[in-house]
Chains A and B, each alone.
Chain A
Amino acid sequence: MKIDLTDTTASKVNKALVQGRRAIGTPAVGMVLTMVIVTDEENAYDAIKAAEEASHEHPSRTLVVIKRHARTPRERTHSRLDAEVRVGSEAGTGETVVLRTYGEVSEHADSVVLPLLLPDAPVVVWWPSDAPANPSKDPLGALGQRRITDLYAVENPMDVLETRRRTYAPGDTDLAWTRLTLWRSMLAAALDQARATVTSAAVEAEADNPAAELLARWLEARLRVPVDRVVTEGPVVTAVRLGTADGEVVIDRPEGPLATLTLPGQPARRLALKVRATSELIAEELRRLDADEMYAVALRGEHTEETPAHV
């Protein structure tokens, strides 16, 4: 069911949540986390949809904060909060509150979100686009254990990647990194089979792809060899080559979900390596809520002696 509240406050939203749950007959819920999505009207629909799909794996309360931009100066001075409370079948397996802020309250969205967080449960903040330059210092970002940004949703990914590296704090993570998990997992498995020292490496991808850059930096950090960046037509990452004394270990994915794995001295075989939907990426993100240290390593790309426990 859906309850609309105009010119409201967080405590009225809380009441509406309880009322909604009573009405559908599930007063006790086993939600495991609060997901805060900070977005604009344009991206809200897709983000909510992805979060609801992910909620099948991680039942959660989703708080969507949409900052509305007033068109006239008079509206700008007037501060208002509208809320749309969805519980039951309309909200995946948890509940969703869409909060629209107008005027000054937009600057203090954290004051609205704080009373609506689930008791004890972890908080995840996700910016589908327009993430702040320093997520952990952002008032909303500071509420979360985990802060999810997306380098695919910015104009100049390479510049932003640099900013992310500078402002990294434990708990930060990026969907461009999440997109790499299958690649990384298959590369690790391939090296398990090759059991050889890697002497050179190359990542082939479309130009300015932030995931490819992260992958290259991760390989640099882990393998301690320089990694060539080769520009191809794409889409996204198309191949990774690891040179060893006996020949190359190659995972090649020119297009589509099927890749080819080649190991020295062995025939080629095929691997399923598909591009995953946002909801699957979010579901993976929510599986672990502690700091992702390997992401920090990949951001820095240095030859670190060992993984730092904290930064």
Chain B
Amino acid sequence: MTDETTQPAVAEEEQVTDARTSPPQEPADGPTVPPQEPADVGSALPAPPADWSNPLRDPQDRRLPRVAGPSGLVIFGVTGDLSRKKLMPAVYDLANRGLLPPGFSLVGFARRDWEDQDFAQVVHDAVKEHARTPFREEVWQQLSEGMRFIPGDFDDDAAFEALRAAVEELDASRGTSGNYAFYLSVPPKFFPKVVEQLKKHGLADAPEGSWRRAVIEKPFGHDLRSAEELNAIVHEVFDPEQVFRIDHYLGKETVQNILALRFANQMFEPIWNRSFVDHVQITMAEDIGIGGRAGYYDGIGAARDVIQNHLLQLMALTAMEEPASFDAASLLTEKLKVFRAVQLPEDLGRHTVRGQYAGAWQGGAKVRGYLEEEGIDPASTTDTYAAIKLGIDNRRWAGVPFYLRTGKRLGRRVTEIAVVFQRAPHSPFDSSATEELGQNAIVIRVQPDEGMTVRFGSKVPGTSMELRDVTMDFAYGESFTESSPEAYERLILDVLLGDANLFPRHQEVEESWKILDPIEEYWASHGRPAQYASGSWGPAEADEMLARDGRSWRRP
């Protein structure tokens, strides 16, 4: 009883297509049409009593998953890489796990001459290739019925009218109830145009009782001023509460686990402060180069691309105080306190380093240096490696340096947070016994091989008294195999549910630019990036930077 369903599927699809050929003809008369109509079409039912609650739901009934309410997702730039590799598969995986509402609809918008079927085919291929869960025909059928494609440019009024018609038609035919998330998977220079068009065509105004949300991806500007401008543009159209900024790191299980680790346990928090912690290293290394992203990357660089968002967010979660509760507002309060307490080193030249990868042999393959990459100005001073030292001036962390580093073409792909502890204040063992003993450390492995490592000293068996570092491992892959959803799955579901816990707010974005801007300004006027061999762990200057403090980088 698996495959007998194709016959009715075809019949019904035709029916749906017929139904939607009529609406697009009406709207040509301009943008001033009030947006009330879709609400009526979507809710042919009488308004429910205000205190209506679903009797089939109960907090005790934990088997029932958090299914998103009636809604649809509109993706701008749907032909892009991110959309095909992450968004579409994530939508399918959510559907496969039964977390999308019946009637969920997916609308693609891009400059392609496609029909709905062509779009469905593209999604189909993307899902087959990239989805995490196995492909199931019946799930696909359910999903594909709600797929629409709107061809057009961002300044094409007719296309946005068609989009509005499609949205109204979906409200009627699929019961999406006017709830839509607009995912702007487009370069930031198009943001103003797209949000303006959404506003102009009444797409950003939610009918009574429903919601319209905007989802935007990094970069959130390239400095404080541009970030503020961008926020102003988006907030003019969408309520700040309804703007979801995707930092996909925050969707990762390991990152959410930082909070669980710190605040649900008793054994870590007492030593999570300046009395016991020597320093913290946060690393995000990539083994790839810039690939085809020359146009985007040159002039932006590693610090703006990674430190401003991912690493500062990881730092905030590692350093913040316990939030009053686990909701978006409390989390924001605590994270902002960390950002505002950040202290830059006085001598930026000695405590920050930037670099560019140079051509070398990496992992058995010969690769080009950054300046030889296609589309890069040979005189470019864009950083592909950045390391900075930050202090956090509060009672918990005063005097504890946070070292943040990121780079392309490093030894391997890894992201981790290492909290390195001070040495024991006194050792009863003589120095020859502890020669090989390092500092204790708790390492949160964000990716890949998600998990946590604890490093501590242990006696070597058989010898009189010789101590050596050993590691104790917790691996997600061992304790909860396969069940970890992709970051985008979690984040898209949260957008549809309206749960903003895992999304940086605009205040956080602006505060992080305030941290990075002085460093970028210093770099712009002082010297050039240091060169480092591809496949190494960064320039020698970065090692010197830590050596000055009497420390060294971990090899991740």
Contacts and interface: CB of A to CB of B under 8 A. Distances in A.
A274 to B, nearest CB: 6
Contacts of B473: 28
Contacts of A263: 175
A56 B480 CA distance: 8
Nearest to B101: A189
B260 to A, nearest CB: 15
Given A30-B478, A30-B479, A270-B145, A222 B70 contact: no
Contacts of A32: 479-480
Q: Which of B46, B58, B63, B98 has the most CB of A within 10 A?
A: B63
A193 B103 contact: yes
B429 interface: no
B211 interface: no
Interface stretch (B133-141, B180-188, B216-224): B133-141
Chain A: interface size category:
35 or more
A105 interface: no
Given A269-B103, A270-B141, A192 B175 contact: no
Interface in B1-48: 1-5, 9, 12, 16, 19, 44-46, 48
Interface string B79-108: 000000000000000011010011100000
A182 interface: yes
A235 interface: yes
A23 B551 CA distance: 40
A25 to B, nearest CB: 14
Interface stretch (B49-57, B293-301, B321-329): B49-57
Contacts of B5: 256-258
Interface string B132-156: 0000111101100110000000000
A24 B57 CA distance: 47
A222 B95 contact: no
A72 interface: no
B136 A194 contact: no
Interface centre among A185, A189, A195, A265 (most CB of B within 10 A): A189
B142 A270 contact: yes
A278 to B, nearest CB: 16
Contacts of B58: 222, 294, 307
Contact of A256 (B2, B175, B481): B2
Contacts of A255: 1, 4
B481 A265 contact: no
Interface in B293-330: none
B337 to A, nearest CB: 35
Interface in B526-549: none
Contact of A30 (B1, B98, B474): B474
Given A258-B5, A258-B141, A272-B95, A188 B479 contact: no
A274 B60 CA distance: 25
Interface in A188-204: 188-198
A264 to B, nearest CB: 6
Contacts of A29: 478
Nearest to A268: B12
Interface in A70-104: 93
Contacts of A188: 54, 56-57, 64, 67
A264 B58 CA distance: 24
B524 to A, nearest CB: 48
B142 A271 contact: yes
B175 A193 contact: yes
B37 to A, nearest CB: 16
B395 interface: no
A59 B61 CA distance: 25
A190 B177 CA distance: 13
B65 interface: yes
Given A191-B54, A288-B62, A257 B138 contact: yes
B208 interface: no
B45 A185 contact: no
Interface string B480-498: 1111000000000000000
B77 interface: no
A242 B482 CA distance: 36
B102 A271 contact: yes
A235 B67 CA distance: 26
Nearest to B44: A265
B174 interface: yes
B69 interface: yes
Contacts of A265: 44-45
Given A223-B55, A272-B136, A264 B44 contact: yes
A184 B48 contact: no
Contacts of B136: 257, 272, 274
Contacts of B4: 255-256
B173 interface: yes
Interface string A256-297: 111001011111111111110000000010001000111000
B258 to A, nearest CB: 19
Contacts of B96: 272
Contacts of A246: 44-46
A294 B59 CA distance: 10
Contacts of B465: none
A186 interface: yes
Contacts of B56: 184, 187-188, 191, 219, 222-223
Given A28-B473, A272-B136, A267 B102 contact: no
Contact of B483 (A57, A193, A288): A57
A198 B473 CA distance: 52
Interface string A191-230: 1111111100000000000000000000100111000000
Given A256-B4, A258-B138, A270 B12 contact: yes
B478 A93 contact: yes
Nearest to A267: B173
A49 B175 CA distance: 42
A30 B475 contact: yes
A189 B102 contact: yes
5 contacts: A30-B474, A32-B479, A257-B137, A257-B138, A294-B60
Given A246-B45, A272-B95, A292-B63, 7 more contacts: A56-B482, A58-B481, A59-B481, A193-B101, A257-B136, A265-B45, A273-B138
Identify the 8 closest CB pairs spanning chains A and B, nearest first: A265-B44, A30-B478, A195-B48, A257-B138, A272-B138, A188-B56, A294-B61, A272-B139
Interface of B: 1-5, 9, 12, 16, 19, 44-46, 48, 52, 54-58, 60-65, 67, 69-70, 95-96, 98, 101-103, 136-139, 141-142, 145-146, 172-175, 177, 473-475, 478-483
